[in-house]
Chains A and B, each alone.
Chain A
């Protein structure tokens, strides 16, 4: 029910802005499910991985959450961001297609190319400075808390928060950058040469 989603999501988002981390996690999980459904309906032909777009949308929602006003409905805001990120993904794909013609033989030899490790976000993560990268992957992939991460690397919690915040902002920026599509091709080409 859209009505319920709207009421619930805006309640969670308001709580999150007030500092409730639990509410924010709930908001993101429910939003991810809605956006996933939306993106999957929109992508009818292959080439764009829906989950990549879901992740880009979540990151954009996170770094642009100061653009949501509390008097505004939250769902139109979420879907407008998702639509924008989807169009962006198609645009990048258009650019990528030219190069993939050359690589078609290798693509056939690699039937399992689209695994979890192939995600756009991993490439963006790889491009981060080492300190930010290790903090972001500790908190995300390894599932450590901020304090655990601080203990692991022997730095303060504030330093962890700063690295995490900058790292996420940098990843989001990389998604938005025009060059990202090309950087990705380049990296992929290098990977193929190594194999």
Chain B
């Protein structure tokens, strides 16, 4: 069954004023339980709005959002519970740290859930481990950490709630390649260990290719492509038309194909490409 389902969801900003803007138009998507789904689209395509609809930070103007088949707005007073189940890491989450120590900051979510001290401590250690930080940062002031470390602390703050669905808005934006790898690996590990469903927004097609099972493409508030990674990246022309791209290595494969070299189009990583090209010359590398 679909973990999350959006049915005919529309969202308008500034409804009833001269500045009314339709951010999402009749969106229908289903997100499979335990999958990693990538959400891509150019700036202003409605990605961030969609993420906020998933955990009830925004209310759909029209349509319904289902979590495990239950409308999340059925009992508006209990929307807080939905937010614990669907953990949202917003863009540049490092700017939301506020406590004196890393430990206290990560504890903010679990504390709001009403967990006891022992449980909170356990979750903090688990979360810090997922994002690849050592336990000696716990007593540090988060404002003394580096940008990448702050980002990881902020993500740990959401992971510590052990959400069934982890939603991340560009978790790796503005980080160096190493920082990016650590965070993406952490997200992958979290999914492997807990079986959680992950939804991730990114502008890096390489990251998407590496991480995601399914990909949803938004353009001007509408879902234009929705399928498995292979299905979506096969549509390179469509993606380019709406201002996106396929991973560079995939583009290379497409170009080779277009020039009459018979080669597999569904290649997303450099290793696979090397193998494929080596195969052309009749042997392993």
**Does chain A bind chain B?**
no
* Interface, chain A (partner B; CB < 8 A): none
Instruction: Give me the interface of B with A, judged by CB distance under 8 Å.
Output: none
